[in-house]
Amino acid sequence: MAKNNLIGGSIWDEYSKVVQDRMNNPKFMGEITEEDAKKANAKLIVADFGAESCCGDAVRLYWLVDEKTDKIIDAKFKSFGCGTAIASSDTMAELCIGKTVDEAVKITNLDVEKAMRDNPETPAVPPQKMHCSVMAYDVIKAAAASYKGIDPEHFEDEIIVCECARVSLGTIKEVIRLNDLHTVEEITQYTKAGAFCKSCVKPGGHEKREYYLVDILRDTRAEMEREKIEAQANAQANHTLGDISFENMTMVGQLKAVESVIDKEIRPMLEMDGGNLEILDIRNDNGENTDIYIRYLGACSGCASGSTGTLYAIENVLQESLSPKIRVMPI
């Protein structure tokens, strides 16, 4: 078969020799029949998958499975698509043979692509054609589900963002956090997500996606920033940042610090007498004073000492623990 029968000659050099050979001379293209299954004393599994949302390619996978061992003793395929789809389907079928059904389900699209490389460092196909091997995982999953009599989604325990590299949403978020990533390019470097067909990078690619790397990065960075602020506030409240004065804390930090002291030193005493209090507001008076507005609850709300002895005791504890500039204002 001539080169240009399957792909444009201008990009031929971007395909590995393995891919070119499998395009023109697939080893496992064909059909397995029920008669073949009887002769082999094995169960015939036939599964289909079509990439309607992508390029319209489709593949049918045939398995002969030894039911005693769950091992795939033979595999063939039919592919209705481009040369890359034929090559990747041929490779997929070969990778299945000799594996158990559970082992086959672990074959990813990247496994198929890597098996077609001439050398480990050079991709087997150009990025814009990587999506043609995406069908491998999906049709294997369909075959395994048919054999086990379960829903194919049983094998999908995470949301897959990058179909080409089979990278999950959880993995991308974890990598962003662990490595403090700031760009999509860094995500691709660490996970390979977005390295191939690029549909998952941002809206507007050849295939519409539910999740995009640009959005995941933005949302995860926002979560990290919120957590950082909260952690700082908690640290301030627990006095783990000894070099930060109460006056220099954020408003959230001041509130947590006051709540912490009240919970430890004041609230237990009030509760012994059937009372309690809540903090309503904290206001800074141009750096001169920090006014903490409280409301008495329970028995404390009608107690005369709420404006004298109890008030002075609360104020004294907060001043000694946090800042002499604190004033407590009951409402």
Active-site residue set:
55, 132
Nearest CA among 85, 110, 107 for reference residue 192 = 110
Would you tell me how many other CB atoms lie within 10 Å of the CB of residue 71? 17
Nearest CA among 208, 158, 220, 210 for reference residue 184 = 220
Question: Is residue 187 helix, strand or coil?
Answer: helix
Nearest CA among 39, 90, 88, 82 for reference residue 64 = 39
The count of C-alpha atoms lying within 13 angstroms of the C-alpha of 316, restricted to the half-sphere facing its C-beta, is: 6
What whole-number distance in Å separates Cα of residue 186 and Cα of residue 228?
Answer: 21
Q: Is residue 143 within 8 Å of residue 155, measured between CB atoms? A: no
E-strand spans in 83-189?
160-162, 167-168
In Å, how far are 2, 3, 16 from 13, measured between CA atoms? 14, 11, 7
